[in-house]
Every structure is written in structure tokens, then in C-alpha cells.
Amino acid sequence: MSDSFRNRMIDINNLSVYDNSSIAESAGGKFKDFRNVADFVLGILCVLLIPCICFGNFLVIISLVKFRRLRTITYTLVGSLSVADSLLAVITLPVYSLFYFKLTFVQSVKYLCLFKFSSVCASMSASMINLVAIGFDRYVAILHPLKYKTILTHKRVRIFIVCMWIYIVPVCILPLVWNSYDEIQICDYFKILPLAYTLYAAFFSIGISLVVSLYLYIRIFLVARQQQKQVRKDSLRGNHRIDKQMEKDTKSAKVMALVLFLFYIFWVPFTIVGPIKYSVKIDNDLSETLKNITLFLAMRSSASSVGWIEQAIYTRNKAT
């Protein structure tokens, strides 16, 4: 009697283990299929995005090289941003496309895998820092217009741009020398790169840039709105001696504040996915898919930043 009962218990335990493992495999299979489909779609979107980014940014770079009158402080910073976004289109997106399409010959190439991560961290960090610099440029123009030419000189801006690209070099090189790459495992961002580097890339370069930009543009937006109200009051009173430059800067600042808001919508999900991966137990395929989708959205918004800023500059110039 006891032997029969013991055998039944063993059968029940075995069945439970089998059932649980089957459920786990089934769930894993669903996430695997979901990841494969998502990666294929992202690969196509990356390929389509490349010419769009190149066209707009190359025009900005060529214009700056060809026309000296465009080499203002703001346009110089926009040119640096265009270089960063061009690197994203010419280098980062093609490499990511190869991995999204899961081409066999790229999966086992160690430094191609590592370069995929280093290039995206470098190009997007450069984009973020340039956006902060452009925000500071508009901040000084709106809040301290009389000191603008004293604070922001061409020499200082050139020094800043050189220092920024010097800073980007270690950001790009670190993943190539500091990693836990294993030829057996797939090219997985969360498994290959150290936690310290991912937190550094997500929070130091990106997070701090977003916080600083948010502060700058909130201040710009509030002051710009206040100035616009004052301009309207002066117009109603018949005072036509309105500061045209202030009116132009106010309109462009409001447009750029809205640009930053859209930028946040695309970037915040990516900065959230990383910490969730390390703090919550989640399926690897699911976490990689979420990371890939949010990263693409971030790259898409970064690639559009030059176009948005160009629109803001056009809005300012149109007010003359």
C-alpha cells in the first residue's frame, strides 16, 4: 500500500516537473518567435531610415562647409550634431541591420558584435551632448541676450566640440576592451557588457543630458512665453518698437521646447528598460526585444533632431 502510494507521488512529481518545464519552454518559444519577427521588422526599418538621415544631415554639413554666412554659433553646433547623426546612419544602423536580419556570418564575429554596441553608445552620446549644447545656446540667447556674444564665442564653441569628441573616444573604445564576450552565446547587450558600463551609458551620458536639457528648456519655455505675452501687450498698446530679435528667439525657443518634449517621449522608455532588466527577473528574449524596440525609437528621434532644430531656426528667421 505504501509502495503504491509512493509510486503515485513520484508520478505526480514527475508530471508536475514535466508540465512546468513544458510551460516554460512554450513561453520561451513564444518570446523567441516574437523576438525574431520584431528583429526582422526593425532591420527593414533601419535600412529605410539610413537614406533619410544621410540626406538631411549631409545637406547641413555641406551648407556649413560651402556658405560662410551660415557659420553662426547655433549652426556650428547643429553641424556637430549632424556629424553625430551621420555616424549613426553610416556606421551604427548598417551594423545593427546585419544583426537584426540574423545573418550567420556576423553572429560569431566578436569585434563586430562589440563594435555594434560601442558605435551606438558613441554616436548617441555625441547627439545628446550636442543637444545639450544647443539648448545652452538658446538658454543664453533668451535669458541673457546682452551677454550672448561674450559668453558664446566661436573659439569657445570650437574648443567645446573638440573636447566632446575626445570624450566620445573612450565611450567607443571601452566595450571593445571591457566585456564578457563568449563565442558560445549570442551577441546579447545585457550579457556581454558589464553592468557598470550599461548604467554609465544609460544614465551618465544619456540620463544626465536629458535632465540638463529638461531644465534648460523649461526655463527657456517659461521665459519665452512671458516675453511673448509682453510683445503682444506692446502691440495692443500701439508700441511698434518691438525687439524683433527677441520675437524671433522667443518663437524658435518655444518650438525647440516642444522638440525636446517629443525627444523625451522617445528616449525615456530606453532608459527604463535597462534597470528593469537588472532589477526584475524577465525572459531574455523579451528583454532584448523591448531593448531593441526602445533603442530604435531613441535612434529614430535622435536622427530627426536636426530636422526639428532646422524647423526651429526657420521659424526664427521667418519672423524677421
Sequential DSSP letters for 224-273: HHHHHHHHHHHHHTT-----HHHHHHHHHHHHHHHHHHHHHHHHHHHHHH
CA distance 73 to 250: 17
Residues whose CB falls within 8 Å of the CB of residue 46, separated by 6 or more in sequence, listed in order: 93, 94, 96, 97, 100, 296
CA distance 85 to 63: 16
More confident residue, 23 or 58: 58
Binned at pLDDT 50, 70 and 90, residue 52 comes out as confident
Kindly report the number of other CB atoms within 10 A of residue 193's CB atom.
22
Least Cα distance to 198 among 273, 293, 298 occurs for: 273
Give CA angle at 258 (254, 261), nearest 5°: 140
- Enumerate the domain spans of the chain: 33-318
State the pLDDT at residue 164. Answer: 92
Question: Which residues contact residue 140 at a Cβ distance below 8 angstroms, ignoring those fewer than 6 apart?
Answer: 147, 148, 151, 152
User: Residue 60: is its pLDDT beyond 60?
Assistant: yes
Which ranges of the chain would DSSP assign to H, the alpha helix? 2-66, 73-87, 93-100, 104-107, 110-143, 148-151, 154-177, 189-192, 195-199, 208-236, 244-279, 284-318
Q: What single-letter DSSP state applies at residue 205?
A: I
- Overall fold of domain 33-318: Rhopdopsin 7-helix transmembrane proteins (1.20.1070)
pTM: 0.78
Whether the pLDDT of residue 14 is over 60: the answer is: no
How many angstroms separate the first and last alpha carbons of the chain?
98
Give residue 55's pLDDT. Answer: 83
Residue 160 scores a pLDDT above 90: yes
Distances (CA, A) of 316 to 77, 78, 262, 285, 312: 16, 15, 20, 46, 6
DSSP state letter for 280: S
Condensed to tens digits (0 to 9), the pLDDT of residues 93-132 reads 999 999 999 887 787 788 888 898 888 888 888 888 888 8
Greater confidence (230 vs 162) lies with 162
Helix (H, G, I), strand (E, B) or coil at 119: helix
Check whether 36 has a pLDDT greater than 50.
yes
